[in-house]
Amino acid sequence: MLIFSPKQTPTPTIVFDSYWRFAAARQEIFFKKFSQPAGPWTNDSILLKHKFTNAYRASDRVSQYLIKNVIYKGNQNFEEIFFRTILYKIFNKIDTWELILAEFGEIHSQNFNFRRYAKLLTEAMQAGETVYSGAYIMASGKSTFGYQRKFENHLCLIRMMLDERLPQRILEAQSLEKIFELLKSYPTIGNFLAFQYAIDLNYGPHLTFGEMDFVVPGPGAKDGIRKCFSDYGDYNETDIIKYVTERQELEFERLGIEFKNLWGRPLQLIDCQNLFCEIDKYARVKHPEISGLSDRKRIKQIYTPQNEAITYWYPPKWGINDKIKL
């Protein structure tokens, strides 16, 4: 006779309630920016002062630019989409992409030339430009490729990926997890970046994996999870992200929150993973008595309004673009 005991669920802290309130408040700001361009968008002093990503990853400015101007603009052969996506995401900076685009015109993998790209980026840095986003830090790759400048090693990384037919192997992958594993096998790419790049490539028309299929918690998300739960029970951090994502409607209902989702699309695993990263930052001010893994105390990024409005457009396979009314 087999006796199955139910898994012990995680024990939430007060920060877990703030997680859902933050998600709803950040999404409310997303919509209010269109109906009330001049503000105010919130009465939350923390959200007014500091910069936080959107509740939905695909709504962020850098992701929107990727989807509209990198993935779906240009040759739609998968190798070309792969090349453009990885080139854009390695720097993760719109200005760097536009610098490359202005210099070389339409960007193709066939005319990718290490020397020309390296010369352009060297000149940009000598002129005082920052070619990388500060959103996350990539390993330099010097121990593998041998160059002093980080971007030269990363250009070598792209060349290696193309030479080893990584786009074709990704196209043959049977799961989002397999794509993650393929990306992770390359120098300078750890768990966090491999998962982020897998999600980025999956925005395109060739890959059709759901965003509820697979998730990897990043360092910031692990901090947020530690603040939201005093005990993990029988769950690990990946299990907790799945558990929370599946319970989103119940949690919003429990707290009496009317969450305005993305035109019918609920929060996905990647979104809830990101929200754990954001609640880690938010809780440094809201709940300073609750410690995470890193025990950071301040939120570094201050909110600065962007002058350029975004026309929102999402991967067509999501079926929400014809529902967008702002």
* pLDDT tens column, 222-263: 999 999 999 999 999 999 999 999 999 999 999 999 999 999
Helix, strand, coil shares of the chain, percent, nearest 5, are 55, 5, 45
Contact 87, 99 (CB under 8 A): no
Torsion region of 223: left, alpha or beta (phi above 0 gives left; psi -120 to 50 gives alpha): alpha
Contact 203, 84 (CB under 8 A): no
Instruction: Read off the pLDDT of residues 154-174 as tens digits, 9 standing for 90 and up.
Output: 999 999 999 999 999 999 999
Contact 24, 252 (CB under 8 A): yes
Give the phi and the psi of residue 142 in degrees, each rounded to 5. Answer: -60, -40
Q: How many angstroms separate the CA atoms of 77 and 261, rounded?
A: 32
Q: How many angstroms separate the CA atoms of 68 and 314, rounded?
A: 8
For residue 203, give the nearest of 95, 113, 107, 321 by alpha carbon: 321
Q: How many angstroms separate the CA atoms of 275 and 258, rounded?
A: 17
Q: What pLDDT score does 136 carry?
A: 74
Instruction: Read off the pLDDT of residues 64-96 as tens digits, 9 standing for 90 and up.
Output: 999 999 999 999 999 999 999 999 999 999 999
pLDDT band, residue 101 (cuts 50/70/90): very high
Contact 177, 214 (CB under 8 A): yes
User: Looking up tokens 């897998």, which residue turns up?
Assistant: 198
What does R_g of the chain's alpha carbons equal in angstroms? 21
Instruction: Read off the pLDDT of residues 313-325 as tens digits, 9 standing for 90 and up.
Output: 999 999 999 999 7
Cβ-based neighbours of 32, under 8 Å, separated by 6 or more: 39, 41, 42
Q: What is the pTM of this model?
A: 0.94
The rounded percent of the chain whose pLDDT value lies above 90 is: 83
Q: How many angstroms separate the CA atoms of 14 and 5, rounded?
A: 27
Q: How many angstroms separate the CA atoms of 260 and 324, rounded?
A: 13
- Tokens standing for residue 246: 């599946």
For residue 87, give the nearest of 61, 113, 64 by alpha carbon: 113
